[in-house]
Structure 1
Amino acid sequence: MYRRLRYHFQFINERKLFAGVDHHTSFSLNIYENPSVSGSLPHFDSIWNLYDPKTIDECYASDATGTIPGVKNELGEWNTQGHKSRVISISKGELLMFSKLVGDSQKDGWKQTPMVGIHAAELLHALEQMADIPRSLRTYANEITYSPMWNETNSRKDGTIKDDIHFPTSTKALIYSSPFIGVANPLLQSTRRNYRVNSDYDPIDLTDIPEDYMPRVKYSQACTDAEYKSRVQKMADPNQEDGAVSRFDAVYRLCCRGMVPLTGERTLQASCVHPGVAWVHAIAGYGVHPERYALLALMSGLEAALPYDFFIRSIGKMNINATTLSLQPVPETNLAPEIRLRGLLLNCLTKPYADLWQSCWDESYTSMSWAKDDPRLTADTFTSLTDEWNWHTPLRTDYERRQALVELDVLASMALGITLDELIDIYRLTFTVLSGYEDDTWYDANGRIVFSKKNYGDLTFKRPDFEKIKNAPAGKVFTPTITDDTQPGGPRERTIEYVAPFDKCDRVEDYKTAWKFFTQKYGDVK
């Protein structure tokens, strides 16, 4: 097909070009030619993220000047504007790169490699850099176990799990649903007491939870302990000659939402879970044995970074599975301790993560620092760290967590060989929903989000109320009372404190600041 293909135009049905078809549905318009006419080597044009046919004409009519349009425009609408850079010229060289990235990297693997989605030519080099990383998770195939765990329908039928909305009292058979998982956040949301539809979850305030907190869940173990243990997937230990195995839920693991939007705020939403946690098959994940926890910590940081999210988006599949996860590159880099630490600080939110923290402890962590000067980012975040986890160890405020994610974007880019300009293009062109949220999210003097275009439930002000206090003088305190039902014993009334002044962040400027900081600290990054 590649030898015959001349034009490949990939559409998404968001503008309902086909009525009655789901708006997420992708389809393509393709033009072929007999290869005997123009030779047997592949050469064709590809345009992705199309929402209207007129964009194709605009791309070819473009003089290549002006700003390259992203997936969405400034109004949050699907972008139908064309630009010359949207036309990606694909030949054997690009297909070879695709085969290294997502297919069979053998000599003729390019002939049947899957296509990779590229929004603009400026993003091509970033994918080339990732394809050139010699190791991926596939390299560790004998040391990593993937599992979808419990099928949400079949495991209820066979009596493994049952519907049971409750707060767990121990880590035994804590069963996760996908809305619990955010980017490097295993405690994003909790199930509502009266769960009726798949949006019935409330955001969790990480600054208010106890050290042994577990979210309200939808399911519980339905069979005996012995039967449950026998049904859990086993992990072979490659270091044991006797073929010893352990239970998949007995180790720390990295998991992500399985069904994902390719054009939403984030696609790869991965976080670390502790022993005792299981999940339903709407979650994809993998585990490693304790001697490989350093790899798990590294990937927990890398998978929180935009370049890895961009990689998953480029594959173009809305269902993340073991095959997709195994393709992720694992760079050898002197930045690994910085990446591991931020991954751990974001994920290790409760005491069940204490063993992971201790097993990945490195004395160098205490000498690290934020890449940005701001009173909401204190030096003792790093200098006070020890090998023993406590409630103050992880990052809990919105501002700290955002800054750690920004720094991971930069660190991952450096480790992969992606330039600062390419990182900015990845953010601006393919993460337009995230950009829209960033441009309208406001933080208070203590690092708490006070208002955002993104919905944080009752944890933030609504727009009309925020507009009334937006320009409050420094030091003025606002203390709204909310009803919180995300913890046992609720619902309860609690007061949230917001301290003026309120300001926004500029992610691109923060990228530049962090890039300069890490370049000065590490010089020639490898």
Structure 2
Amino acid sequence: MTLETLNVWAQILDEPGTSPWHARMVYPVNRASMSVLEKLSHAPRVRELGMQYSRGWDESIDRRKGYFEVGSRVNGSWKDVILQGPHFTVATPFAKQPNPTMKNNLDWTELDLEALPADFIPRTSYQPNRSGEVDYDADYGTWEMPNGTKTPVRDHYRLIWRQMASTTGNRTMHTAVIPPGTTHISFAAGGTDVATLLDVSGMWSSLPIDFLVKVTGIANLHVSFVDRLPAIRGTAVHEILRRNVARLVCLTEAYAPLWNEVMDTPWTPESPARVAAERRQLLVELDALAALSLALTADELCTIYRTQFPVLRGYEQTDLYDANGRKVPQEMAKLYRKGGKDGMAAEDLRWTHPQSAVEYTFEFPFRTFDREEDMREAYARFSAMLERDGQILATEV
């Protein structure tokens, strides 16, 4: 263990000025990972972007105070929505919704993004209580704007994340943008311009940042931690990154104003990426864009993926996609692996989504993807584009 290594750890995890001898420990598994951490330690920080934070609702304390109560409902307005961690995942605000039975924390159903109505609002298991002594709407908090005025936190698009980090899952940092009106359990960031919000969302949805969160071993992602995560400022990849995030996040009309700020065409239901293969590709491109902005090489990006994301890598090696880019359901994939194309009848290729009740017919050929190959391709494409345009990344200046 060298003083230089300890200094890198202090720069990543601790407050500015912390002595390397007092640095908290990081858990890289090889020298390549340590090289990545060293580069990340020199990057700008989220705290430099002027973001504000919201405490959100505390699932235990605020429920006891009477701000909300347990109950399953699909509300007609985002102002009555209280989101929980499973509702969202990486750059996906509509991942799952709780079943009306609410048996346990696994009683959720994956949402069908292809069939998502433009006015979709997810089912929730917590409902606002506006009849008690506390004020549900007023007590949620305010943010101070640059002109000195204060506005309700709920008036803004916000970036939320799951507070409890799962280092054994396919991803550790689960984060998504939520629309105005809604409240949520745990913390959120925002109170800044849309461009900055999308920049941070894109970075937090990438493998380099997920890697950093994973190797720190921190299980509880408080504001003090995410405020120290690497950020990008003044780099040439911003516009592409923002557009990718918009195509991943803006799945309903509640996101139309956000979309219209960064895209050239008005939002329509056909605007976002809804098919699994296309969404996967956009995430892969976020990985490459983040790596470029942080001065990581393609080899370093692939190394941290190969060594730090075994669960994600396992999914990538086994997930099947059909000719239209839809992810093949598990039971159908089992039949295909057992008997191949010739071992499947026409009815075996029809599947009804459990949430939307829409029947899909899957088409051959089925295929898998190679994430390392795709990240390298995206990295080379964006790198060549930057070189062609004569642009230099801020982290290289």
Please tell me whether residue 113 in structure 1 is matched to residue 26 in structure 2: no
Aligned pair partner of 1:300 in 201, 213, 224? 201
**2:47 paired residue number:** 138
> Is the alpha carbon distance of 1:403 and 1:473 closer, same or farther for their aligned partners in structure 2, counting shifts above 3 Å?
farther
Name the CA distance, whole Å, in 2 between partners of 1:252 and 1:411.
Answer: 23
Please tell me whether residue 216 in structure 1 is matched to residue 94 in structure 2: no
**1:410 paired residue number:** 288
**1:467 paired residue number:** 337
Equivalent residue runs for 1:219-238 within 5 Å? 219-224=126-131, 227-237=135-145
Aligned pair partner of 1:498 in 362, 366, 371? 362
Instruction: With the length of structure 1 as denominator, give the TM-score of the two structures.
Output: 0.70
Q: Could you say what secondary structure the match of 2:135 adopts?
A: helix
Asked if 2 retains the 8 angstrom alpha-carbon contact of 1:104 and 1:113, the reply is no
Please tell me whether residue 257 in structure 1 is matched to residue 162 in structure 2: yes
Please state which structure has a larger fraction of its residues in helix: 2
Asked if 1 retains the 8 angstrom alpha-carbon contact of 2:232 and 2:293, the reply is yes
Count of paired positions: 388
Aligned pair partner of 2:67 in 160, 165, 168? 160
Q: Could you say what secondary structure the match of 1:428 adopts?
A: helix
Asked if 2 retains the 8 angstrom alpha-carbon contact of 1:297 and 1:360, the reply is no
Name the CA distance, whole Å, in 1 between partners of 2:224 and 2:190.
Answer: 14
Aligned pair partner of 2:190 in 279, 287, 299? 287
Could you tell me which amino acid in structure 2 is paired with residue 248 of structure 1?
Answer: V
Asked if 2 retains the 8 angstrom alpha-carbon contact of 1:251 and 1:288, the reply is yes
Please tell me whether residue 275 in structure 1 is matched to residue 180 in structure 2: yes
Name the CA distance, whole Å, in 2 between partners of 1:399 and 1:469.
Answer: 24
Asked if 2 retains the 8 angstrom alpha-carbon contact of 1:148 and 1:279, the reply is no
Equivalent residue runs for 1:368-517 within 5 Å? 386=265, 388-451=266-329, 460-467=330-337, 470-472=340-342, 479-482=349-352, 484=354, 486=355, 493-517=357-381
Name the CA distance, whole Å, in 1 between partners of 2:141 and 2:342.
Answer: 55
**2:36 paired residue number:** 126
Asked if 2 retains the 8 angstrom alpha-carbon contact of 1:235 and 1:247, the reply is yes
**2:221 paired residue number:** 320
Cα deviation for residue 479 of structure 1 reads: 4.6
Name the CA distance, whole Å, in 1 between partners of 2:163 and 2:341.
Answer: 41
**1:47 paired residue number:** none
Asked if 1 retains the 8 angstrom alpha-carbon contact of 2:199 and 2:232, the reply is no
Aligned pair partner of 1:520 in 380, 384, 393? 384
Asked if 1 retains the 8 angstrom alpha-carbon contact of 2:83 and 2:182, the reply is yes
After superposition, the C-alpha distances for 1:423-476 in whole angstroms (9 at most, x for unaligned) are 01100000010000100000000000114xxxxxxxx535543335643599x7
**1:27 paired residue number:** none
Choose between structure 1 and 2 for higher RCO, CA contacts under 8 A separated by at least 6 residues. 2
Could you tell me which amino acid in structure 2 is paired with residue 404 of structure 1?
Answer: L
Name the CA distance, whole Å, in 2 between partners of 1:441 and 1:462.
Answer: 11
Q: Percent identity?
A: 28
After superposition, the C-alpha distances for 1:280-324 in whole angstroms (9 at most, x for unaligned) are 23xx321223xx110001111111110010011122111111111
Asked if 2 retains the 8 angstrom alpha-carbon contact of 1:440 and 1:504, the reply is yes
Please tell me whether residue 181 in structure 1 is matched to residue 88 in structure 2: yes
Name the CA distance, whole Å, in 2 between partners of 1:211 and 1:336.
Answer: 27
> Is the alpha carbon distance of 1:311 and 1:166 closer, same or farther for their aligned partners in structure 2, counting shifts above 3 Å?
same
Cα deviation for residue 525 of structure 1 reads: 4.6
Asked if 1 retains the 8 angstrom alpha-carbon contact of 2:351 and 2:361, the reply is no
After superposition, the C-alpha distances for 1:47-99 in whole angstroms (9 at most, x for unaligned) are xxxxxxxxxxxxxxxxxxxxxxxxxxxxxxxxxxxxxxxxxxx2111122222
> Is the alpha carbon distance of 1:145 and 1:198 closer, same or farther for their aligned partners in structure 2, counting shifts above 3 Å?
same
Name the CA distance, whole Å, in 1 between partners of 2:153 and 2:253.
Answer: 20
Who wins on radius of gyration, i.e. which is larger?
1
- 4+ residue runs over 6 A deviation: none
User: Which residues of structure 2 form unaligned runs of 5+?
Assistant: none
Instruction: With the length of structure 2 as denominator, give the TM-score of the two structures.
Output: 0.92
> Is the alpha carbon distance of 1:469 and 1:355 closer, same or farther for their aligned partners in structure 2, counting shifts above 3 Å?
farther
Q: Could you say what secondary structure the match of 2:82 adopts?
A: strand
